[in-house]
Chain A
Amino acid sequence: MARITLENVKKSFGKVQALDGVSLDIKDKEFFVLFGPAGAGKTTILNNIAGIQVPEEGIVKFDGEIVNLVDAAHRDTAMVFENYALYPQMTVYDNMASALRSKLYKKDEDYIQKRVHEIAKMMNMDHLLERLPSQLSNGQKQRVAMGRALVRMPKVYLMDEPLAHLDAKLRNAMRTELKSIQAQFGTTSVYVTHDFMEALSLADRIAVINEGKVVQIGTGDAIYDLPVNEFVATLMGDPEINVIPGRIEKTETGYRFSMQGSGKSNDLPEDKDLFAKFEALGVEKVDLALRPQHLVYSFDPVPGYLHCTVYSYESIGNKSVIVADHEGLQLRLIAPNGLRVKIDQDVYVDTKLNYSLFFDYETKEFLARYNEAEIRKIAEPEEEEG
């Protein structure tokens, strides 16, 4: 169990700056998710915590103690690697027992046997123990890699995309299992993923990483509902959030939003706090962002609706996605399955503007949103000191 602190950690590989001043404070017993696109530096952060790599600048602390000079073996972590990193010449059992047989974490064979079987049973792979890694499917390998980490009770679990190669069914089951394991043992866990659903469902807190920098840290709610910039907003949610560039103007009663180009303009629904913020910021050009579920459509003309053509219509299981095209601006919206939709047919789209988020047109930074105060209350619970 440990609190892990990174202070201004920098790391480069040749000319590539992999980490550019990363600071994180991961609390004891926390399930902390590092989330971001491929190549953002998530795995490098994990490696620096594990001690596999050493930062060129900055400090890594475990429970307040600087561990920069402690090697990986002595940091008492357990890690799941994305490419599994199983020892090919050892059976699954020996792979799992490996750490408990090393000098540092030595346990007697009776204990090892008990522990390995216990974990194998939990992971539903007790029938695989005698196999070699080459005889396993990718999903099975991934479970072994997880199991190898779980046999130990380290200070911290480090997991690099441990569910990425599992099929949907197994992934769902394992996600639930992971969560209950963590709740049971309360071991600090740092988890890397590029799947926003995994991040949201597992994390106590999420750090969004991009290009070696921390973009935002917060609860899942905060990241989803109060993204600090457009980049974070587009990462969360599938289909992606719609971004509509335009300008806001003050009217007699409130504010009015006009879409860029020949698009239509609407009065924004009243929200005193929001309008006050607009007033204070004094911005004009903004990006209005709306999640696909907050767009409504009709195939018959409705006055006030935006005229678009269907760019594509795809079923994604329990629902479908219509991509509507308005002069090159593509809007994604949710529709039921089984509609008879032809590509390039007309569709009319309206926006539920009272769910809008506003971003700066130039910097793409978050400006304001509807119901901000209320959402902030849910998304940012009072910090417990500890």
Chain B
Amino acid sequence: MSGLRIEHVFKRYDNEGKGKKKKVNDFAVKDLNLVTEEGEFVALLGPSGCGKTTTLRMTAGLEEITAGDIYINDVRVNDLEPKDRHIGLAFEDYAMYPPLTVYDNIGFNLRAKGVSKEEIDKRVREIAPLMQCDDLLDKMPVKLSGGQKQRVNIARAIVRRPDLLLMDEPLSHLDGKARQAMRTEIKRLINEIKCTTVYVTHDQLEAMSLADRIAIINFGVLQQYGTPAEVYDDPVNEFVAGFIGEPPMNIIETTIVGEGEHFFFTFKESNLKIQVPERYYNVVSNGFKCKMGVRPMDVLIGGPDSKGTPEHVATFENLGDERRIGIRVGDFLLMLITEDETRYKAGDAIKLEVRAEKTHLFDIETGARIRSR
């Protein structure tokens, strides 16, 4: 038995303008395949307009599927009404019914299905403590804070014991603090109820911290589907590499130069020279052009006897928990992060070392990852 299975799903919106010719848009979702384990927490991550919400809405049955099949627990749901799909929905602005108390709001769907009063009461009281809204049950929705509303919202989605829980940016209305707290709550909740969950977000941090696996989507196409560690450490292309991580990965155009037995990354208008890890030796050659990616925390400041290249600090930001240093490499600003307490000034000379084994190579044209053979 599987949670959710999406097979070759396409979505295209037809714009029928009045009097104008029928305009056919490009696909909003293109040949999407996604399989979740039962009880797995999957995040759909991508920039706005990438098709992640469309995918969720198709799964929920709020949007027609242009082509392909969607299965929930091995049942093909293409032609089922949303109410027959056994799903729970928690949307960004899924409004509550204002004249009803929190208790009645949570129980509303059960009542609509004709569940008995005792059963409703039992289930509501069972769910409420999980979402820490047991002391809110008698309140009216207008009295609740943003975070509390979102708790009730989620409680309402899970009280039906859905086969699949769908959440669309449920935290985007909350401010920093409340969001951080809710993230932890959601994580614990899902762990508790073990419900397959699909979670749409544009915030890579949310996806990284919550999900068992992340599906990264761009322009309607699935880019990579893997655990947070996989997408972070082993991105399949430049887009994924740049989208995951804050500050983003440094990705610079480079020309590889062979010197003796070794190859080095060299950069336009810069003295910076980084040795190419040996595993790439079978794919690079002298004069080979590509893009090099390295995360800011994999660029290090060398000590006095370091063999690293001397460079000048262009920008220095002290962020309290960490310090960020920018170094000009041609017209690119190479960022590095350090927890070192030293305060640098613009113009200070430092020696740069790069964890060569952590560098990635990307194709200049396609952005695809170049791997060693």
Residues of A whose CB lies within 8 Å of any CB of B are 37-38, 137-138, 167-169, 172, 176, 179-180, 194-197, 200-201, 220-221, 224-225, 236-240, 291, 293, 311-312, 314-318, 321, 323, 337-338, 343, 378
Contact = CB atoms under 8 A, between A and B. Distances in A.
A316 B210 CA distance: 9
A194 B248 contact: no
B337 interface: yes
B187 A312 contact: yes
Q: Which 3 A-B pairs have the closest CB atoms?
A: A314-B209, A201-B317, A224-B320
23 contacts: A38-B175, A137-B48, A168-B246, A169-B242, A169-B243, A172-B247, A172-B335, A176-B326, A194-B176, A197-B319, A200-B319, A200-B320, A201-B318, A238-B176, A238-B321, A239-B180, A312-B184, A315-B229, A315-B232, A317-B205, A318-B297, A318-B337, A338-B229
B63 interface: no
Given A169-B248, A293-B321, A316 B191 contact: no
Nearest to A342: B191
Contacts of B183: 314
A337 B205 contact: no
Given A200-B317, A317-B232, 6 more contacts: A138-B48, A167-B202, A200-B318, A240-B180, A314-B183, A318-B337
B319 A195 contact: no
Contact of A220 (B176, B204, B318): B318
Most chain B CB within 10 A, of A167, A195, A378, is at A167
Nearest to A239: B180
A195 B176 CA distance: 8
A318 B295 contact: yes
Q: Bin chain B's interface residue count.
A: 35 or more
Contacts of B232: 315, 317, 337
Interface of B: 47-49, 175-177, 180, 183-184, 187-188, 191, 202, 204-205, 208-210, 228-229, 232, 242-248, 295, 297, 315, 317-321, 324, 326, 333, 335, 337, 339, 343
A269 B305 CA distance: 34
Contacts of A224: 318, 320
Contacts of B188: 311-312, 343
Contact of A176 (B315, B321, B343): B315
Contacts of B315: 176, 179-180
A81 B246 CA distance: 25
Contacts of A321: 209
A316 B202 CA distance: 14
Contact of A317 (B49, B246, B317): B246
B80 to A, nearest CB: 34
B67 to A, nearest CB: 28
Nearest to B244: A317
A338 to B, nearest CB: 5
Contacts of A315: 208-209, 228-229, 232
A237 B229 contact: no
B229 A337 contact: yes
Given A176-B326, A238-B321, A318-B297, A378 B343 contact: yes
Nearest to B243: A169
Contacts of B317: 200-201
B52 to A, nearest CB: 14
A311 B204 CA distance: 22
A237 B320 contact: yes
A159 to B, nearest CB: 17
Nearest to A197: B319
Given A167-B202, A200-B317, A337-B229, A317 B208 contact: yes
Contacts of B248: 168-169, 172
A236 B320 contact: yes
Contacts of A180: 315
A194 B184 contact: no
B329 to A, nearest CB: 14
A312 B49 CA distance: 31
B324 A201 contact: yes
